[in-house]
Each structure stands twice: as C-alpha cells, then as structure tokens.
Structure 1
C-alpha cells in the first residue's frame, strides 16, 4: 500500500529537525543557543502543518505502515499539544541552561526524540506501536531527569525514573502479551471485534495495561516516582515531563480503552472511576502538606490526572473532547508555572520553598502576576482556561450519569484552591524572611511566560475559539465511531 507522505508531514518535520540539530551540534564554534532556535523553528513548522491539517477540512482518517499508525483529527490535535509544550519548554530552556553548557545539543535532541515518541503514541493503531512510542518517549526522559550529573538530586531523579519506568513497562508488555494470547491480534480495531466477554486473558491483560498507563500519567497508587522526579530533575525538564508526556499517555489510554475494550466497558469504567476518585483526593491532600513548590506541583499534577480520568469514566464523545481540551490547558499553565519558578533564586541557589516567595508581589510585580495567573488557572477560577477545562470535564461526567464522581471532583477542586492560593497569599501578604534574588528577565523566558499567560486568559475569556475546534476534531475522528 502506497504511503501518503503528506499526512506524515508533522512526523517528517520533527525527524528532519532532529537530524539538523544533530549535525549542527557537531560543528565546533556554533552557538549552542542556535540549537534551541532550530528546535523551536522545527516545532513551529510542525505546528503550522498540523493546524492546516485540522482546519482545511480535507483530512480523512487513514492508517499507514500496515495499519500500525493512524492519522486522524484526534492524533493531529494531540500533536499540537506536544508541539506547544516543546516550543514553550525550549524557550524556557534557553534562559535556564544559559550559553555555557556544552551539552545543550544533547538536551534538545532528547526532547525532540521524546516528542516523536509522543506522536507515535497519539497515532498508534496497534498495541505494539503504543509500546514503541511509550519507550521512545520515556527513554530520553530518564536521561533528561538526570541531566545535571554533578547534582545528586538530579542523578537520583533520573535513576528512580528509570527503574520504576522499566518496572511499569514490564506490566504493560505482559498485558499486551496476554491480550494477544486471548485475541490473536494487537491491532486495536481487531481486538474490539474479537470475543472479549468472559475471556480472562484479555481481562487480566486489560488491567495490566491500566497499571502501565497509570504509571506514565501518575495515577494513584502508581505515582511514587512523581514527587521525587519533579523535585530532583532540572526545572525546565520538570516542565517538559509534566506536560507533553502526560498528554501522550492519556491520548493512548483513551484510544486503546474506548476503541478496543468497548464490550468490557462495565469492568474498566468501574476501575477507572475508583482510580479517579483516589487520584484526585490523594493528590490534593498530599499537596496541602508540601512546603516545596515543585513537590506541591508534583502532587497537583497527580490530582489533575484524576480530573482527566473523570472524562475517561464518562466514556463518551463529550468526555473525550473535554479531556483533550483539559490536557491542552493543563500543559500550557503547568509549563508557565515552572517557567516562573525558574526566575527565582536565593543565596543558596535555586529556591523552591513557598515561604521564600514572600514579598515577591512587591519586589517583582510582573513575575508575581505571571505566577498568580497560573495558580488561579490551576485552581480552576474563572475567567481562566483552567475553569473552562474543568467545566467541560465535569459536564461530560454529569451527562454520563457519573454525578457522585463529579461531586468528589468538585470537593477536590475546592481543596486544591487552598494550596494554590497559599502561593498567591505568600507573594502579596507575607513579609520576606530571606533575600530573594530574581534573575534578570530573559527575553526568551518572558516570551514563554507571555504566551502561556495569554493562552490561559484567552481560552478562559473566549472558550468557543478552542472548544469548537476540539469538538469538531473528535467528531470527525475514527475514535467517535465506537462511542455511545
């Protein structure tokens, strides 16, 4: 079957960008900062191509490479999320790494390789492709988490991420093996057409997949790696790990379970509902006790994974589209929050203690505004994108009859407001106890913060500009054909 290379353009652009950055990194005397701009340029081109694919109305869902990879509106939209995350994190990284680090080429190459893995996950039409994308995404992340080799916290983060990631991959691979044993195939649509009811191999394999996905997106009780990795990894890497990879994990999670296991819906929806309630509640309660802002955002990310599971529990077209919107919003506001954190230092170096932010609202009002907008959006206050994301997720669950789950989610949202507002209160209503050194505003980092803040506010004020395209994307996608 002839390959349609036009549909594969976003993938090809990222591959070409990877090769160009690799070649340029070998040239002595070339500015390492230029490698970041090559990464941003390639990501921007891929973003524009993907937007054109979504908006021109001519994209017909199709499969490539013998049915292993599916190109449809669903996968293209998730690619947009990955490109947005990569662009914002690359802008942040220019300031964070400076111009002296001789290994910057490796840094951007690893991010590009991980992004390509995310794209494979979003477009996977076969469990083998899901696993391939999962590992291609994860392996560079293990290296990035330990990027600062002389820093014991970074090295520890990389090692923990690697060991637990490899352990979870074993569960995922064993789940694939059991499903293949029970159905004779790993292709998603063929699994759905097999006899799944009372097939114990498939049921056990399905729950092993939940364990594998649960680790990658940070669900309770598979979340143990999240706080230590988020805290120990370089802050720009933490921003990257918290955004695109989480969206990629959920993109495959939704496609696999909605398309392949529709006849087992009663079994997995119950499990997902319980996991959603546990994840939201534990994440928010644990975040309250944190005094370190990176660890607070780590537990916060666990809670946000629970909110996305609420949409999966809805198992509907609206649930999937609301999750897509929520993941886009989450990526933007989380990267923005970590970008603001990068600008602050004390005499001892980087500061992540919330108490050290006392008085920041008066010392650096612009930085405090950026941080406040992100905190308000993460908490879900109007008129921010966080409110819009939660509103559509909760509405989809109510329409699917999961009212008690929405009640739990609403209570958790109220709980989360406490620790998000604590950061804002500290910045504006507490006196400084240590001298906080705010780094000189870097134009690149400021651009990233402005873009993130503008995105959060524009989506909150003009939600229809993004909600309608998301709904159209899922409506025209193959995944909708198996939804109720």
Structure 2
C-alpha cells in the first residue's frame, strides 16, 4: 500500500504539533504560554497547507486502503476546525492562568480532539467515522471535567462521558447492522448497492441517526448539552460548541447523502421531523433561561436544527449552505463565549444574564463585541448569521420544503427575543450587583476582533467563502448522488 504523504500534510502538521506541545510541556523552565502559541502556530500552518491544496484544485482521492478520503470537502471542514482551535486557544491564554488550570494537558487534548474531527470529515468508511468520533469525543470528556475541584465541572464531565458512551453504543450497533446487511462498511460500496428493502440496513441507518443526534445535540438526544455547557470551563464550552458540532455534521452529510441515496425518502422524512423538533424545543427552552451559558446551550441545539433544514433539502445547495452556516456558527459562538469569559461578581464567574445590566456603559468595547455576536446569532443583517440562514432557507425552498422553512422562520423570530434580551440588559437595565470585568487580555481582544471581523465580513461578502464551498462540494464524490 503506497501512501501519498503530501496529501496527508494537514494531518501530519497536527500530529507534529501534538508532539512538540508534549515535549515543550515536559521542559519546566519554559513559559507555559508557549504551549498556546505552538498550538496556534501548528493550526495556522495546517490552515495554510489546506488552503494551498484547495486552490491547487485537489482531485478527490483515498488513502489507507480507501478508509480516508482527501477531497475539497474534507479540507474545507478542516479549515473550520483550525479556525475554531485558533480562536479558542487565544481566549484560553489568560483564562487558564486565571483559573489555575494545567495548560499542557489542555492543549494536547484539544489537538487530539481536533485530529479526531479531521478523521471524521475525511472518513470514507463507517469504521473510520467511528474511530474519528471516539478520538474527538474522549478528550472532550476530560476537558469538560477539567475543573477538578469544582463539583459542577466533574458532574459535566461524568454526564458527558456516560451519555457519550451510550450514544456510541447506538452508533456501533448501527454499523454492525449495516455491515450485516451489506457485507461492507465502505461508504462507496454501500452507495453502489440497492438496499431499499433490507431491514438490517434501514434499522442500522436509523441507529446512526441516533448516534449522530447525540453528538451534535439534536432533540430528543440533547439532554447532555445544557449541563455540560454550564459546568465546563468557559473556554472548553466554546470549543465543544464549535468544532465538534461541525465535525459531527461533516460525517453526517457524507454518510447519509453519499451512502444512503437509495433510502433518501426514508431518512429525509426523519431528518425533517428532527429539524422541526430541534429548532422548536431548543428555542423555546432558551427563552426560559436566565443563565447565559445555558441559554447558549439551548441556542446551540436550535442551530443544529437549522443545519438539518439544509440537510433535509437533500441537494448540493443544501450541503454547501449548511457547510457555510457551520463556519459562521463556529465563529460567532466562540466569539460569544470569549466575550463573557471576562466577567466576575464577588461570588466568582457570573453567567446570570441579569448581572450584565449596565455593562454597555461600564465596558462599552466588551459590550459591543457581545452585542455583535448576539445580533449575528439572532440572524440580523448585515451579519453573517443573517446571510447564512438565508442560504439555508433558500436551499429548503428550492427543494419544496416550504412548511419546514415556515417553522424555521417562526423559530428565528422566537430566538430574536432571547438574544435581544441580552442586548437590552447590557444597555437598558440598572445594575443589580457589582460586576467586575477583568483587565482585557491582548490575546482575548485579538480573538474577539477576529471573530467580530469574521461575522461582519462574511455577512457583507459571503461569496468570498460561499463560492469556494460550493466548488468544494461540486468536486467531492457527493456530487454524483445529490442534485
């Protein structure tokens, strides 16, 4: 088996970065801030390599006996993961020191999880999907419980571990049934068969939906998300809410659109129902929240529903719209968590929305950053949140799913209430408690500036990214099975 190592350069860069961070952490005399800079540098190099491969017109190819597909689709998702890792590393620089958390293991776990995400995006075999899924998830369970002396963090880590293991069982059993019905786990070979009357394949396919549903937080498999988001260190919550969700959907798209085209009528109906449920439950639950981290947790669930709207379209435009949406979602979500990471009351970190009253006058720059993220999450122009929702809804309309778009539009109106409530609190409410804002870290400010610039530029000039995304989808193997 001859391996083209040049095509594997993004993966190799992350592996080398992992090794360098491990060695650096063992040298006690070196500043621990260097761990973050090594992680950021490795992510930047991997991003540059991926962009070069994209612009060179990479032709879809497979490695490791067909287990891993290197194509423009996987490269673009890799860029989403790298952007998330860079932004989270920047906001973690001052946060880890303030919370007295070990930095070496932290960045190693994030790099390991990112490598798992990359395997998921490029998986060409159900076994590789599962391998990437577990490699992504196991470090996240540890990171969720990274506050070792905090009972809420320990509870978050344990809940995440137990429910994650539970969902993995569904996923693995689904793979076993599909293998029993088809004799293969290769996505291309599954796609070439006709299994519309094979109950093993159909049941296995629905078990995969359950497994993916847990990982990306779809209703009714979302129970872990609020407690994990609330109990985890805030920088970890930002990481969990961004890259892993995009990775889950990247594999979701490839597996179902590429492999189960002959069963499209069955799974699109299920996806459509899940999309409506996920949007509605997520937004209604978010309205009732008074804690901003829990509000963003339910908001994250609702956003997963919007992504499913694009998947339910079952079209090339649907996949490209969902991919663009996930990029925008990752940027604005990390930006939102980065903005709230600086606030404290006398009792410690505060995430009660009421405690942010008057922050717009106390710290106007921080309030502007947070407000921009809230407007984008709500889908107001000229932010990227608006234009990404527009493309998602348009792809569903083009596929004739008007009623699903109506439900999505109603849910968008509902979401505007709780996002705008945060903005109103910042500028129009009297302060209830003394809110301490920690001194601005230059690294955190850079992350917030990058996130804000990304949200605004992608909203004003979406074609600069959307056109390459559409080209990447066209040049992937999925183009042969979707409209």
What's the TM-score once normalised by structure 2's chain length? 0.99
Provide the secondary structure at the position in 2 that maps to 1:98: helix
What do the CA deviations read for 1:96-139 (whole angstroms, capped 9, x no partner)?
A: 11278462100000000000000000000000000000000000
State the Cα RMSD in Å. 0.8
Q: What is the Cα deviation at residue 159 of structure 1?
A: 0.2
Tell me, in whole angstroms, the C-alpha distance in 1 between the residues paired with 2:61 and 2:419: 43
Tell me, in whole angstroms, the C-alpha distance in 2 between the residues paired with 1:464 and 1:134: 31
Residues 96 and 102 in structure 2, CA contact (< 8 A), matched pair in contact too: no
Residues 33 and 99 in structure 1, CA contact (< 8 A), matched pair in contact too: no
Tell me, in whole angstroms, the C-alpha distance in 1 between the residues paired with 2:462 and 2:160: 36
Q: What is the Cα deviation at residue 195 of structure 1?
A: 2.6
Residues 195 and 201 in structure 2, CA contact (< 8 A), matched pair in contact too: yes
Provide the secondary structure at the position in 1 that maps to 2:412: helix
Higher mean C-alpha deviation, range 260-269 or range 27-36: 27-36
Moved over 3 A (4+): 99-102
Q: What is the Cα deviation at residue 481 of structure 1?
A: 1.3
Q: What is the Cα deviation at residue 274 of structure 1?
A: 0.1
| Count of residues in Structure 1 that have an aligned counterpart in Structure 2 | 483
Tell me, in whole angstroms, the C-alpha distance in 1 between the residues paired with 2:101 and 2:93: 13
Aligned residue for 1:213? 212
What do the CA deviations read for 1:16-38 (whole angstroms, capped 9, x no partner)?
A: 00000001111122111110100
Question: Does the C-alpha gap of structure 1 residues 102 and 324 become closer, same or farther in structure 2, counting only changes over 3 Å?
Answer: closer
Tell me, in whole angstroms, the C-alpha distance in 2 between the residues paired with 1:74 and 1:129: 16
Q: What is the Cα deviation at residue 467 of structure 1?
A: 1.3
Aligned residue for 2:5? 5
Q: What is the Cα deviation at residue 194 of structure 1?
A: 1.9
Tell me, in whole angstroms, the C-alpha distance in 2 between the residues paired with 1:58 and 1:259: 21
Give the gaps of 5 or more residues in structure 2.
none
Provide the secondary structure at the position in 2 that maps to 1:87: helix
What do the CA deviations read for 1:190-223 (whole angstroms, capped 9, x no partner)?
A: 0111231110000000000000000000000000
Tell me, in whole angstroms, the C-alpha distance in 1 between the residues paired with 2:161 and 2:32: 27
Residues 72 and 477 in structure 1, CA contact (< 8 A), matched pair in contact too: yes
Tell me, in whole angstroms, the C-alpha distance in 1 between the residues paired with 2:22 and 2:479: 39
Q: What is the Cα deviation at residue 470 of structure 1?
A: 1.1
Tell me, in whole angstroms, the C-alpha distance in 1 between the residues paired with 2:467 and 2:171: 34
What do the CA deviations read for 1:426-459 (whole angstroms, capped 9, x no partner)?
A: 0000010100000100000000000000000001
Aligned residue for 1:27? 27
1:120 counterpart = 2:119: yes
Tell me, in whole angstroms, the C-alpha distance in 2 between the residues paired with 1:192 and 1:387: 35
Tell me, in whole angstroms, the C-alpha distance in 1 between the residues paired with 2:254 and 2:341: 35
Tell me, in whole angstroms, the C-alpha distance in 1 between the residues paired with 2:98 and 2:16: 24
Q: What is the Cα deviation at residue 52 of structure 1?
A: 1.1
What do the CA deviations read for 1:321-361 (whole angstroms, capped 9, x no partner)?
A: 00000000000000000000101111100000000000000
Residues 32 and 99 in structure 1, CA contact (< 8 A), matched pair in contact too: no
Q: What is the Cα deviation at residue 480 of structure 1?
A: 1.3
Residues 121 and 133 in structure 1, CA contact (< 8 A), matched pair in contact too: yes
What's the TM-score once normalised by structure 1's chain length? 0.99
Higher mean C-alpha deviation, range 411-420 or range 91-100: 91-100
Provide the secondary structure at the position in 1 that maps to 2:98: coil
Residues 356 and 436 in structure 1, CA contact (< 8 A), matched pair in contact too: yes
Tell me, in whole angstroms, the C-alpha distance in 2 between the residues paired with 1:235 and 1:35: 19
What do the CA deviations read for 1:400-444 (whole angstroms, capped 9, x no partner)?
A: 011100000000000000000000000000010100000100000
Q: What is the Cα deviation at residue 58 of structure 1?
A: 3.0
Tell me, in whole angstroms, the C-alpha distance in 1 between the residues paired with 2:374 and 2:368: 10
Q: What is the Cα deviation at residue 469 of structure 1?
A: 1.1
Higher mean C-alpha deviation, range 23-32 or range 162-171: 23-32
Tell me, in whole angstroms, the C-alpha distance in 1 between the residues paired with 2:86 and 2:404: 35
What do the CA deviations read for 1:250-303 (whole angstroms, capped 9, x no partner)?
A: 000000000110000000000000000000000000000000000000000000
Question: Does the C-alpha gap of structure 1 residues 100 and 164 become closer, same or farther in structure 2, counting only changes over 3 Å?
Answer: closer
Provide the secondary structure at the position in 1 that maps to 2:185: coil
Tell me, in whole angstroms, the C-alpha distance in 2 between the residues paired with 1:13 and 1:251: 21
